[in-house]
Amino acid sequence: MDINKNSILVVDDEAMNITALSHILKGDYTVYVEKDGLGCIEAAKELMPDLILLDILMPAMNGFEVIKALKKDDATKNIPVIFVTGLNNPQDEEMGFMLGAADYINKPFSAAVVKLRVRNQIQIINQMRTIHNISITDALTGIGNRRYFYTQLEQEWSRSLRQQTSLSFMMLDIDNFKPYNDTYGHLLGDMVLRETAQKIKLGLSRAIDKCARWGGEEFGVILPDTCIIGAKKVAERIRESIEKHPFMADEKTVTNITVSIGINCNIPKRESLYSLENFVSDADKALYHAKATGKNKVCAFTEM
Protein backbone atom coordinates (compact mmCIF):
# COMPACT_ATOMS: atom_id res chain seq x y z
CA MET A 1 0.00 0.00 0.00
CA ASP A 2 1.26 3.48 -0.91
CA ILE A 3 0.86 5.60 2.23
CA ASN A 4 0.95 8.75 0.08
CA LYS A 5 -2.18 7.77 -1.83
CA ASN A 6 -5.70 8.45 -0.69
CA SER A 7 -7.68 5.29 -0.02
CA ILE A 8 -11.08 4.22 -1.33
CA LEU A 9 -13.33 1.39 -0.19
CA VAL A 10 -15.48 -0.07 -3.01
CA VAL A 11 -18.56 -2.01 -1.85
CA ASP A 12 -20.69 -3.94 -4.34
CA ASP A 13 -22.16 -7.44 -4.45
CA GLU A 14 -21.44 -7.75 -8.18
CA ALA A 15 -17.89 -8.90 -8.95
CA MET A 16 -18.02 -7.21 -12.37
CA ASN A 17 -18.68 -3.81 -10.82
CA ILE A 18 -15.91 -4.27 -8.25
CA THR A 19 -13.47 -5.21 -10.98
CA ALA A 20 -14.46 -2.27 -13.15
CA LEU A 21 -14.28 0.32 -10.36
CA SER A 22 -11.00 -1.07 -9.07
CA HIS A 23 -9.51 -0.87 -12.56
CA ILE A 24 -10.67 2.74 -12.96
CA LEU A 25 -9.31 3.91 -9.60
CA LYS A 26 -6.29 1.78 -8.71
CA GLY A 27 -3.80 3.91 -10.63
CA ASP A 28 -4.53 6.99 -8.50
CA TYR A 29 -5.71 5.54 -5.18
CA THR A 30 -5.27 2.65 -2.80
CA VAL A 31 -8.41 0.57 -3.39
CA TYR A 32 -10.03 -1.84 -0.94
CA VAL A 33 -13.10 -3.94 -1.78
CA GLU A 34 -15.98 -5.55 0.09
CA LYS A 35 -19.00 -7.49 -1.22
CA ASP A 36 -21.67 -6.73 1.40
CA GLY A 37 -22.86 -4.17 3.89
CA LEU A 38 -21.54 -5.80 7.04
CA GLY A 39 -18.12 -6.17 5.44
CA CYS A 40 -18.24 -2.48 4.53
CA ILE A 41 -18.91 -1.41 8.12
CA GLU A 42 -16.14 -3.60 9.52
CA ALA A 43 -13.65 -2.55 6.85
CA ALA A 44 -14.48 1.13 7.33
CA LYS A 45 -13.65 0.90 11.04
CA GLU A 46 -10.46 -1.05 10.44
CA LEU A 47 -9.10 0.74 7.36
CA MET A 48 -10.55 4.24 7.80
CA PRO A 49 -10.63 4.91 4.04
CA ASP A 50 -10.82 8.46 2.75
CA LEU A 51 -13.91 7.66 0.65
CA ILE A 52 -16.47 4.85 0.26
CA LEU A 53 -18.16 3.93 -3.03
CA LEU A 54 -21.30 2.09 -1.96
CA ASP A 55 -23.89 0.12 -3.89
CA ILE A 56 -27.49 0.43 -2.67
CA LEU A 57 -29.06 -2.85 -3.82
CA MET A 58 -27.26 -5.53 -1.86
CA PRO A 59 -28.61 -8.64 -0.09
CA ALA A 60 -29.04 -8.77 3.70
CA MET A 61 -28.12 -5.12 4.25
CA ASN A 62 -28.74 -2.46 1.62
CA GLY A 63 -26.74 0.70 1.08
CA PHE A 64 -29.21 2.92 2.90
CA GLU A 65 -28.91 0.75 6.02
CA VAL A 66 -25.12 0.74 5.70
CA ILE A 67 -24.78 4.52 5.53
CA LYS A 68 -27.10 4.88 8.54
CA ALA A 69 -24.77 2.60 10.53
CA LEU A 70 -21.68 4.46 9.33
CA LYS A 71 -23.09 7.86 10.27
CA LYS A 72 -24.11 6.66 13.75
CA ASP A 73 -20.57 5.55 14.59
CA ASP A 74 -18.19 8.29 15.74
CA ALA A 75 -15.27 6.44 14.15
CA THR A 76 -16.80 6.40 10.64
CA LYS A 77 -19.37 9.20 10.56
CA ASN A 78 -17.08 11.62 8.72
CA ILE A 79 -16.06 9.25 5.92
CA PRO A 80 -17.80 10.55 2.77
CA VAL A 81 -19.94 8.08 0.84
CA ILE A 82 -20.73 8.12 -2.86
CA PHE A 83 -23.60 5.87 -3.87
CA VAL A 84 -22.95 3.92 -7.07
CA THR A 85 -26.32 2.47 -8.01
CA GLY A 86 -28.77 1.49 -10.68
CA LEU A 87 -31.61 3.20 -8.78
CA ASN A 88 -32.29 6.25 -10.91
CA ASN A 89 -35.52 7.70 -9.54
CA PRO A 90 -35.42 11.07 -7.74
CA GLN A 91 -36.87 9.64 -4.51
CA ASP A 92 -33.97 7.22 -4.06
CA GLU A 93 -31.45 9.95 -4.81
CA GLU A 94 -33.16 12.26 -2.34
CA MET A 95 -33.13 9.53 0.30
CA GLY A 96 -29.40 9.01 -0.23
CA PHE A 97 -28.60 12.68 0.25
CA MET A 98 -30.88 12.89 3.29
CA LEU A 99 -28.92 10.04 4.88
CA GLY A 100 -25.65 11.87 4.33
CA ALA A 101 -24.34 10.74 0.94
CA ALA A 102 -21.76 13.07 -0.58
CA ASP A 103 -22.61 12.26 -4.20
CA TYR A 104 -24.36 9.86 -6.59
CA ILE A 105 -23.04 7.89 -9.56
CA ASN A 106 -25.57 6.10 -11.70
CA LYS A 107 -25.08 2.67 -13.25
CA PRO A 108 -24.06 1.94 -15.88
CA PHE A 109 -21.19 4.28 -15.06
CA SER A 110 -18.49 5.71 -17.28
CA ALA A 111 -14.85 5.76 -16.23
CA ALA A 112 -14.62 9.50 -16.82
CA VAL A 113 -17.57 10.29 -14.54
CA VAL A 114 -16.30 8.00 -11.80
CA LYS A 115 -12.84 9.59 -11.90
CA LEU A 116 -14.19 13.15 -11.85
CA ARG A 117 -16.68 12.63 -9.03
CA VAL A 118 -14.16 10.72 -6.94
CA ARG A 119 -11.49 13.34 -7.61
CA ASN A 120 -13.85 16.12 -6.50
CA GLN A 121 -14.51 14.40 -3.17
CA ILE A 122 -10.85 13.59 -2.60
CA GLN A 123 -9.89 17.23 -3.25
CA ILE A 124 -12.44 18.38 -0.66
CA ILE A 125 -11.14 15.79 1.83
CA ASN A 126 -7.52 16.82 1.33
CA GLN A 127 -8.32 20.53 1.58
CA MET A 128 -10.24 19.99 4.82
CA ARG A 129 -7.40 17.85 6.17
CA THR A 130 -4.86 20.55 5.34
CA ILE A 131 -6.95 23.22 7.06
CA HIS A 132 -7.42 20.99 10.09
CA ASN A 133 -3.70 20.20 10.32
CA ILE A 134 -2.84 23.90 10.16
CA SER A 135 -5.33 24.66 12.92
CA ILE A 136 -3.80 22.12 15.33
CA THR A 137 -0.11 22.71 14.54
CA ASP A 138 2.23 25.15 16.24
CA ALA A 139 3.63 27.22 13.38
CA LEU A 140 7.08 27.68 14.90
CA THR A 141 7.94 24.17 16.09
CA GLY A 142 5.84 22.02 13.75
CA ILE A 143 4.40 19.92 16.58
CA GLY A 144 0.88 20.14 17.98
CA ASN A 145 -0.41 23.36 19.51
CA ARG A 146 -2.15 23.76 22.85
CA ARG A 147 -5.62 23.48 21.35
CA TYR A 148 -4.77 20.13 19.75
CA PHE A 149 -2.99 18.92 22.85
CA TYR A 150 -5.80 19.64 25.28
CA THR A 151 -8.27 17.84 23.01
CA GLN A 152 -5.97 14.81 23.01
CA LEU A 153 -5.58 15.05 26.78
CA GLU A 154 -9.35 15.13 27.31
CA GLN A 155 -9.74 12.05 25.10
CA GLU A 156 -7.04 10.12 26.94
CA TRP A 157 -8.46 11.13 30.33
CA SER A 158 -11.88 9.78 29.26
CA ARG A 159 -10.32 6.60 27.92
CA SER A 160 -8.35 6.04 31.13
CA LEU A 161 -11.55 6.61 33.09
CA ARG A 162 -13.40 3.96 31.04
CA GLN A 163 -10.59 1.40 31.02
CA GLN A 164 -9.12 2.22 34.44
CA THR A 165 -5.58 2.56 33.12
CA SER A 166 -2.78 4.87 34.22
CA LEU A 167 -2.36 8.17 32.42
CA SER A 168 0.84 10.19 32.74
CA PHE A 169 1.28 13.83 31.80
CA MET A 170 4.53 15.76 31.58
CA MET A 171 5.15 19.49 31.50
CA LEU A 172 8.58 20.66 30.30
CA ASP A 173 10.02 24.13 30.57
CA ILE A 174 13.28 25.37 29.04
CA ASP A 175 15.52 26.63 31.83
CA ASN A 176 16.73 30.24 31.69
CA PHE A 177 15.11 30.83 28.32
CA LYS A 178 14.60 34.59 28.74
CA PRO A 179 18.32 35.26 29.43
CA TYR A 180 19.16 33.10 26.40
CA ASN A 181 16.82 35.19 24.23
CA ASP A 182 18.25 38.40 25.62
CA THR A 183 21.83 37.24 24.98
CA TYR A 184 21.52 35.64 21.55
CA GLY A 185 18.33 37.16 20.13
CA HIS A 186 14.91 35.88 19.20
CA LEU A 187 15.98 34.11 16.00
CA LEU A 188 18.27 31.81 17.97
CA GLY A 189 15.61 31.56 20.65
CA ASP A 190 13.22 30.29 18.01
CA MET A 191 15.86 27.80 16.86
CA VAL A 192 16.12 26.47 20.41
CA LEU A 193 12.35 26.05 20.61
CA ARG A 194 12.27 24.13 17.30
CA GLU A 195 15.15 21.84 18.19
CA THR A 196 13.82 21.23 21.70
CA ALA A 197 10.46 20.24 20.21
CA GLN A 198 12.17 17.74 17.92
CA LYS A 199 14.22 16.25 20.79
CA ILE A 200 11.01 15.78 22.77
CA LYS A 201 9.30 14.16 19.79
CA LEU A 202 12.25 11.84 19.20
CA GLY A 203 12.20 10.87 22.87
CA LEU A 204 8.75 9.30 22.50
CA SER A 205 8.86 5.68 21.38
CA ARG A 206 5.14 4.97 20.83
CA ALA A 207 2.67 6.36 18.32
CA ILE A 208 0.09 6.86 21.08
CA ASP A 209 2.41 9.24 22.97
CA LYS A 210 1.72 12.87 22.06
CA CYS A 211 3.69 16.07 22.49
CA ALA A 212 2.83 19.70 21.86
CA ARG A 213 3.92 23.21 22.56
CA TRP A 214 1.98 24.25 25.64
CA GLY A 215 2.93 27.90 25.29
CA GLY A 216 6.03 30.08 25.28
CA GLU A 217 8.95 27.83 26.21
CA GLU A 218 6.71 25.17 27.78
CA PHE A 219 5.85 21.81 26.24
CA GLY A 220 3.47 19.01 27.19
CA VAL A 221 3.62 15.25 26.73
CA ILE A 222 0.80 12.72 27.08
CA LEU A 223 1.76 9.13 27.94
CA PRO A 224 -1.30 6.83 27.90
CA ASP A 225 -1.17 3.48 29.71
CA THR A 226 1.98 4.61 31.52
CA CYS A 227 2.70 4.43 35.24
CA ILE A 228 4.89 6.89 37.10
CA ILE A 229 7.99 4.69 36.76
CA GLY A 230 7.64 4.53 32.98
CA ALA A 231 6.91 8.25 32.76
CA LYS A 232 10.05 9.09 34.75
CA LYS A 233 12.14 6.97 32.39
CA VAL A 234 10.77 8.83 29.37
CA ALA A 235 11.25 12.19 31.09
CA GLU A 236 14.86 11.40 32.01
CA ARG A 237 15.59 10.26 28.47
CA ILE A 238 14.26 13.54 27.08
CA ARG A 239 15.97 15.68 29.72
CA GLU A 240 19.34 14.02 29.11
CA SER A 241 19.06 14.21 25.31
CA ILE A 242 18.40 17.97 25.48
CA GLU A 243 21.19 18.55 28.01
CA LYS A 244 23.68 16.80 25.70
CA HIS A 245 22.45 18.41 22.49
CA PRO A 246 24.72 21.18 21.10
CA PHE A 247 22.70 24.28 20.26
CA MET A 248 24.73 26.40 17.83
CA ALA A 249 24.55 30.13 18.59
CA ASP A 250 26.82 30.79 15.61
CA GLU A 251 29.52 28.96 13.66
CA LYS A 252 31.94 29.13 16.60
CA THR A 253 29.69 29.21 19.66
CA VAL A 254 28.03 26.11 21.06
CA THR A 255 25.47 26.68 23.78
CA ASN A 256 23.78 24.23 26.10
CA ILE A 257 20.13 24.17 27.06
CA THR A 258 18.45 22.28 29.88
CA VAL A 259 14.83 21.59 30.75
CA SER A 260 12.92 21.06 33.97
CA ILE A 261 10.13 18.49 33.87
CA GLY A 262 7.09 17.99 36.06
CA ILE A 263 5.16 14.72 35.91
CA ASN A 264 1.76 13.65 37.15
CA CYS A 265 0.25 10.18 36.94
CA ASN A 266 -3.30 9.17 37.77
CA ILE A 267 -6.02 6.58 37.21
CA PRO A 268 -9.22 8.65 36.95
CA LYS A 269 -12.15 7.59 39.15
CA ARG A 270 -15.80 8.31 38.43
CA GLU A 271 -16.66 8.95 42.06
CA SER A 272 -13.65 11.22 42.60
CA LEU A 273 -13.72 15.02 42.61
CA TYR A 274 -10.20 14.98 41.16
CA SER A 275 -10.65 16.44 37.69
CA LEU A 276 -8.56 16.77 34.55
CA GLU A 277 -7.90 20.38 35.54
CA ASN A 278 -6.53 19.17 38.90
CA PHE A 279 -4.39 16.65 37.04
CA VAL A 280 -2.84 19.34 34.85
CA SER A 281 -2.44 21.75 37.76
CA ASP A 282 -0.55 19.18 39.80
CA ALA A 283 1.83 18.49 36.90
CA ASP A 284 2.45 22.24 36.77
CA LYS A 285 3.18 22.21 40.52
CA ALA A 286 5.71 19.42 39.98
CA LEU A 287 7.33 21.47 37.23
CA TYR A 288 7.52 24.51 39.51
CA HIS A 289 9.12 22.33 42.19
CA ALA A 290 11.73 21.09 39.71
CA LYS A 291 12.54 24.69 38.76
CA ALA A 292 12.67 25.84 42.37
CA THR A 293 14.98 23.05 43.51
CA GLY A 294 17.77 23.40 40.99
CA LYS A 295 16.40 23.05 37.46
CA ASN A 296 17.54 20.51 34.85
CA LYS A 297 15.69 17.79 36.72
CA VAL A 298 12.56 15.63 36.72
CA CYS A 299 10.04 15.94 39.55
CA ALA A 300 6.93 13.76 40.00
CA PHE A 301 3.96 15.29 41.82
CA THR A 302 3.27 11.99 43.58
CA GLU A 303 6.77 12.09 45.10
CA MET A 304 6.80 15.71 46.26
Tell me the per-residue pLDDT of 30-64, one tens digit each, with 9 for 90 and over: 999 999 999 999 999 999 999 999 999 998 899 99
- pLDDT tier, 2 (very low <50, low <70, confident <90, very high otherwise): low
In a domain, 199, yes or no: yes
Q: Are residues 103 and 192 in the same domain?
A: no
State the catalytic residues.
217
Q: Are residues 130 and 172 in the same domain?
A: no
Domain boundary residue, one of 71, 100, 134: 134
Q: Identify the domain containing residue 15 by its residue range.
A: 7-134
In a domain, 266, yes or no: yes
Q: Are residues 288 and 256 in the same domain?
A: yes
Domain boundary residue, one of 72, 105, 134: 134
Q: Are residues 257 and 298 in the same domain?
A: yes
In a domain, 140, yes or no: no
Domain of 40, CATH number, reads 3.40.50.2300
In a domain, 197, yes or no: yes
In a domain, 139, yes or no: no
pLDDT digits (tens, 9 = 90+) for 150-206: 999 999 999 999 999 999 999 999 999 999 999 889 999 999 999 999 999 999 999
pLDDT of 111 > 90? The answer is yes
In a domain, 141, yes or no: no
User: Structural domain tally of the chain?
Assistant: 2
Euclidean distance between CA atoms 158 and 269, whole angstroms: 10
Main-chain phi, psi angles of 142, to 5 degrees:
85, 0
Q: Are residues 293 and 169 in the same domain?
A: yes
Q: Are residues 158 and 293 in the same domain?
A: yes
Give the per-residue pLDDT at 303. Answer: 87
Domain boundary residue, one of 134, 163, 191: 134
Measured from the Cβ of residue 93, the count of other Cβ atoms closer than 10 Å reads 16
Q: Are residues 95 and 160 in the same domain?
A: no
In a domain, 76, yes or no: yes
Euclidean distance between CA atoms 175 and 183, whole angstroms: 14
Give the per-residue pLDDT at 176. Answer: 95
37-47 and 63-72 helices, crossing angle to 10°: 30
Euclidean distance between CA atoms 194 and 187, whole angstroms: 11
pLDDT digits (tens, 9 = 90+) for 235-257: 999 999 999 999 887 777 788 89
Calculate mean pLDDT across residues 278-285.
97
* pTM for this predicted structure: 0.76
- Partner residues linked to 33 by β-bridges: 10
Give the per-residue pLDDT at 188. Answer: 92
Give the per-residue pLDDT at 276. Answer: 96
Domain of 216, CATH number, reads 3.30.70.270
Half-sphere exposure in the Cβ direction for 298 (13 Å, CA)? 21
Q: Are residues 157 and 296 in the same domain?
A: yes
Q: Are residues 53 and 167 in the same domain?
A: no
Q: Are residues 71 and 29 in the same domain?
A: yes
Q: Are residues 156 and 299 in the same domain?
A: yes
In a domain, 226, yes or no: yes
pLDDT digits (tens, 9 = 90+) for 78-103: 999 999 988 888 888 899 999 999 99
Calculate mean pLDDT across residues 192-221.
96
- pLDDT tier, 3 (very low <50, low <70, confident <90, very high otherwise): low
Q: Are residues 96 and 176 in the same domain?
A: no
pLDDT of 4 > 90? The answer is no
Average pLDDT along the chain: 94
pLDDT of 134 > 60? The answer is yes
DSSP code per residue over the chain: --TTS-EEEEE-S-HHHHHHHHHHHTTTSEEEEESSHHHHHHHHHHH--SEEEE-S--SSS-HHHHHHHHHHSTTTTTS-EEEEES--SHHHHHHHHHTT-SEEEESSPPHHHHHHHHHHHHHHHHHHHHHHHHHTB-TTTSSB-HHHHHHHHHHHHHHHHHHT--EEEEEEEETTHHHHHHHH-HHHHHHHHHHHHHHHHHT--STT-EEEEEETTEEEEEEET--HHHHHHHHHHHHHHHHHSPEESSSS-EE---EEEEEEEE---TT----HHHHHHHHHHHHHHHHHTTSSSEEEGGG-
Give the per-residue pLDDT at 60. Answer: 87
Give the per-residue pLDDT at 1. Answer: 54
pLDDT of 122 > 70? The answer is yes
